Structure 1
Amino acid sequence: MRKRDARLFQIGRYWLSKRRDRAAYYATWFDEEKRRTCRASLETDDLEAAQIALADFVRQHGTMRDCEPAAVKVRTLLRRYYNNHAKLLPSGEAAFYAVPILDDAFGELTVDAVTLDRQRGFIEDMRKAGRSDGYIRRLLAVLKAALNRAVREGEITAAPHVMLLPESEPRERIATTAELAQLLAAARSEHLRRYLVLAIGTAARPGSILELTTFQCDLVDRFIQLNPRGRRQNKKRRPTIPMADFVAALVAKAAPGILVTYSRKRKSTTSRKRAKETPAPLKSIRTPWRRMVVEARRRVRRNAVGRVRALWRAQRHAAAWKALDEAHKRSDALLEIGPYTIRHTMATEMRRRGVEVWEVAGFLGHTTGYKTTERYAKIGPGVLAKAVAAIEGYFDELLDELVDQPGGEWYSSLCARCAPAPRWKGKQVVGNMVVRGVSSEPVSAGFAA
């Protein structure tokens, strides 16, 4: 460590330093608890840029205590909120995109300058830019969370009130059986097909499906623990649900581990060897879903070409234009279907097939409002038989739509009427032991309570 009189630049207890074998400058400080000097690279070798970066680093990570709102900029609190809190949350991605927008609008202001008039001006500007009220509400919610956290952590003494727009109406988009069958047929990769089958069979949220492993599935008692061992339940509750027959067939065929994986090519260290394909977990379903929708729209338009041409050749021009317009509408309607639409569709199908509201709520992991009852009378997979029967009936209807469709054989192989019963019987080989699926799940450090 450099001597105090030899430090290049210092702000409070933070100073600039360099390592002998590195050109970049480092933010350096002495940690009293660990009793050692700590460093963080500023990723620049220019002294002036390093000084600016150090000042920004101190604003984000330095100690703040009982500061007056007139002395702190909103930019500082937004960055501290994201770096120290929001990025660790499931909603961290939304905060990641919201912080730069809020920084442009309020970053240079001090906390006491965030008045209701300025907030109304921000709302008006966002509306002029074509943003919806729901989008604006989410941005203001991040601003409110950042200011409230600063007060809660004792960084500032007070925070102004942040007005939130009324919640927008929930999306009521429910996919039809024909639309969902078109998406199933357009799914080319096996990992996307697996995702779709699990989404239909569990009605779970995308995140829990991507994290689902064979160790959470019990093929003996036929249930799935959507919440893995060691993970604490939160507001987005993950229930334990019964397993549909077609989901059991999928799990039985899968290798031990995460169910939704893709083949990732790794470059070989030598030029003679070919690149190896190794299974890797899918972090997000957005890109595969977008490609599937593009393919489904292309097939809808292509299937309409023959009918339009036949009508045109028969001199039925009005009917041809009408058929073409309907094809475009069906194609555009697929853009409205997202990963969450399947969850909403399955909930609607269960109600349509006579499943009680409380049973649908238990299958989806929703609270019923009776907290004491839920605590002592837990909803288990054994009391959700009607829900899983409704899902199996809906999947049979999808198979009827997939007859003679590309990829239909893959889905039909999961159906009990088309395939033999799974031979796995709920057991996994782990090391030299044969154990049941749920009992062998390793506790993840990232999910530990």
Structure 2
Amino acid sequence: MPRPAKGARLHKFKHRPHWYIRDTGQPDRSTGQRSRVEAEKELAAYIATRGRTGVANEPENVTCGEVLAIYAEEYAPTVAAPERIGYALDALLPYWSGLKLAHVKGETCRRYVKWRDKSHGTVRRELGVLQAAMNYAHKEGYVTSAPTVTMPPKPESKERWLTRDEAARLLWAAYRGHKSSHLARFILIALYTGTRKDAILRMGFEPNTVGGWFDLDRGLMYRRGTDERATNKRRTPAPIPRQLRAHLARWRASGYKWAVEYQGARVGDVKRAFSKARTDAGLPGVTPHTLKHTAITWNLQNGASIWDAAGFFATSAETIEKTYGHHSPSHQASALKAAENRRN
């Protein structure tokens, strides 16, 4: 039985200074590069352009690495957050790059799940990029058809939210931290507005090119900057709660330019500070995203309608209903009333 083709790869001859590209059925070709890093760029360009004759290829003649390279080169630059595609490619390529599209089936997908050894949510996002890349290649005429990726089971929605006491403990741990007072500001904004972590960390007190901003004069928060492109993570404007507006005004009066800053600079991430505060507060498993769950849960518990909550938190009404709806005092109220008033 013949060995399966290895696909395009780099090769270093013992007595030659440059790296070469080897590909099944093709003559060896020099990259002209002595550096492995630069040679890998030449290899990526070779894979991305190989076989583009204008005629669609059959799935058994095209590797996953080739369609992923095409997707990265042609489609990724057009999206608002290309780095998310990049993260998925880094995970996908070591396993899939040499496999043909015809090899994409339930068995190989299940092997990938075991090989990655990550949460199903993470693997589903990565395999979603593989599916999108194959669909793109099919749509653009590079391949005659796109196989269907077999996904692992969708994880249950995380419903962890903080009680008022837990939130107070977390805030106190953040305030008490010598270098993490910026974290307390982040937590307050998240609890009042349910805004996602990345959006909060980009928000300032004036319009900017990085992200959104708080218009304290009009009492509105803009989660997305004017130069930022829209993504699937909706970041619509919303009114600023009265209590938070007072905090923001005080911070701005103190000279802050950014809602969450440290020593005059915008904070890029709160991962380490949050982890320490979480430990000090005795709240294992709590993440920054838990604060969004908490904000929405409290809002519904206080009587907000699902429609208004969806608009305020920039989350679809379907998600609010499915994940948080049972926290509302009016949840299934009409059904309960009908059941209790049932006539003989």
Residues 60, 229 of structure 1: alpha-carbon distance in 2 compared, 3 angstrom cutoff: same
* Deviation, structure 1 residue 83: 4.9
CA contact (8 A) 1:183 1:293 kept: yes
- The answer for the alignment partner of 1:117 in structure 2 is 107
CA distance in 2: counterparts of 1:46 and 1:167, whole angstroms: 45
CA distance in 2: counterparts of 1:54 and 1:213, whole angstroms: 41
Question: Pairwise mapping of residues 152-301 of structure 1 onto structure 2 (< 5 A)?
Answer: 152-187=139-174, 188=177, 189-215=180-206, 216-252=213-249, 253-254=251-252, 255=255, 257-263=257-263, 279-294=264-279, 296-297=280-281
Greater RCO (CA < 8 Å, at least 6 residues apart): 1
* Deviation, structure 1 residue 154: 3.0
Secondary structure of 1:214's aligned partner: coil
Residues 80, 282 of structure 1: alpha-carbon distance in 2 compared, 3 angstrom cutoff: farther
- The answer for the alignment partner of 2:293 in structure 1 is 344
Letter in 2 for 1:136: V
TM-score normalised to structure 2 length: 0.68
CA distance in 2: counterparts of 1:51 and 1:205, whole angstroms: 39
Letter in 1 for 2:172: A
- The answer for the alignment partner of 2:34 in structure 1 is 46
Question: Pairwise mapping of residues 41-440 of structure 1 onto structure 2 (< 5 A)?
Answer: 46=34, 53-60=41-48, 64=52, 65-68=54-57, 69-86=59-76, 89=79, 92=82, 94-123=84-113, 125-126=114-115, 131-187=118-174, 188=177, 189-215=180-206, 216-252=213-249, 253-254=251-252, 255=255, 257-263=257-263, 279-294=264-279, 296-297=280-281, 331=282, 334-368=283-317
Larger Rg: 1
CA contact (8 A) 2:80 2:230 kept: no
CA distance in 1: counterparts of 2:272 and 2:196, whole angstroms: 17
* Deviation, structure 1 residue 172: 0.9
Secondary structure of 1:336's aligned partner: coil
CA distance in 2: counterparts of 1:211 and 1:167, whole angstroms: 30
CA contact (8 A) 2:80 2:229 kept: no
TM-score normalised to structure 1 length: 0.54
* Deviation, structure 1 residue 63: 8.2
CA distance in 1: counterparts of 2:196 and 2:164, whole angstroms: 20
Structure 2 unaligned runs (5+)?
Answer: 1-17, 20-30, 207-212, 319-344
CA distance in 2: counterparts of 1:61 and 1:344, whole angstroms: 45
CA distance in 1: counterparts of 2:191 and 2:41, whole angstroms: 49
CA contact (8 A) 1:87 1:93 kept: no
Letter in 1 for 2:301: R
Residues 84, 121 of structure 1: alpha-carbon distance in 2 compared, 3 angstrom cutoff: same
**Larger deviation: 135-144 or 63-72?**
63-72
* Deviation, structure 1 residue 228: 2.7
CA distance in 1: counterparts of 2:314 and 2:37, whole angstroms: 50
**Larger deviation: 338-347 or 187-196?**
187-196
Per-residue CA deviation, residues 34-84 of structure 1 (Å, 9 max, x unaligned), is xxxxxxxx9x96289866652333224678344413332212222343454
Residues 241, 97 of structure 1: alpha-carbon distance in 2 compared, 3 angstrom cutoff: closer
CA contact (8 A) 1:223 1:243 kept: yes
* Deviation, structure 1 residue 132: 4.0
Secondary structure of 2:135's aligned partner: helix
* Deviation, structure 1 residue 199: 1.0
- The answer for the alignment partner of 1:21 in structure 2 is none
* Deviation, structure 1 residue 249: 2.6
CA contact (8 A) 1:237 1:365 kept: yes
Secondary structure of 1:157's aligned partner: coil
Residues 185, 94 of structure 1: alpha-carbon distance in 2 compared, 3 angstrom cutoff: same
Residues 185, 93 of structure 1: alpha-carbon distance in 2 compared, 3 angstrom cutoff: farther
